[in-house]
Amino acid sequence: MRWFRAGELKLPPYEPNIPEPTTRADFMKHWFPLTLDDKTAQKLLWISDGGAKVARSSDAICPYPNRPERYDHSPQVLCKEGLLGCRGYWEVEYEGWVVVGVACESAPRKAQDGACGLGENASSWGVGWSGSCFQVWHNSENVDIQMPPGSTLGVYVDQPAGVLKFLLVEGEGGEKAVRLIQKFKVNLQEKIYPGFWIGTNSSCLLRKKDQ
């Protein structure tokens, strides 16, 4: 069997004609382990837990060196692993005011290049809890989704098929289930990176597969 390698990840070959996952068990078959990339983190963000957690507690500045791939204004960070020619699913626990999303490799990261926030441009998508509903963002347009709040979100990307799904993860232990928040069908021509926008006194934690 030939395997597809995405960075350091060894994934099975892409099969184009399989049904889209609908249950959490289906999504878990496409589990995509992630690590936060501190080279992209804006300087208000602090990375910990071996690259699994990002937090913003105040206006304290983390002494990251300046880099061309780093966000300079929007409080965001991307993951080291991107999706190209494959499917992937991951889950994120969050606290506070955050946006969980994805961005194309070419999406702007510097304020001089235009809107950089997840969902604020044509090259990124994001979802977050507004306090009364979920809001899904793309290209500076948002849709309100009336659903109960939760503390864990799931994201599924089928890069070759151009499918992006945001999901609410519900339940405990082995009884977890997912509920669709929003699905996008888009033309994805480049590598897609998981990303996170973090408000003050907020955090995101990448879940492990067995959690």
Residue-wise pLDDT tens digits, 132-189: 999 999 999 999 999 999 999 999 999 999 999 999 999 987 789 999 999 999 999 9
Q: Which residue has the higher pLDDT, 16 or 6?
A: 16
Reference 158, options 183, 133, 141, 175; nearest CA is: 183
In CATH, which of 1.20.1090.10, 2.60.120.920, 3.40.50.1970, 3.40.50.970 is domain 24-206? Answer: 2.60.120.920
The answer on pLDDT for 5 being more than 50 is no
- For the chain, what is the mean pLDDT? 93
Query: Using 50, 70 and 90 to split pLDDT, how confident is the model at 31?
Result: very high
pLDDT for 13 equals 87
pLDDT for 166 equals 99
Beta strands in 109-176 (DSSP E): 124-129, 134-138, 141-145, 152-158, 163-170
Residue 48 CA to residue 26 CA, distance in Å, equals 30
The predicted-structure confidence for 36-70, as pLDDT tens digits, reads as follows: 999 999 999 999 999 999 999 988 899 999 999 99
The DSSP call for residue 25 is: H
Please compute the mean of the pLDDT values over residues 64-93 and round it to a whole number. Answer: 96
Domain boundaries, the chain: 24-206
Please compute the mean of the pLDDT values over residues 5-28 and round it to a whole number. Answer: 83
pLDDT for 9 equals 64
Residue 154 CA to residue 165 CA, distance in Å, equals 8
Reference 208, options 82, 91, 71; nearest CA is: 91
pLDDT for 1 equals 30
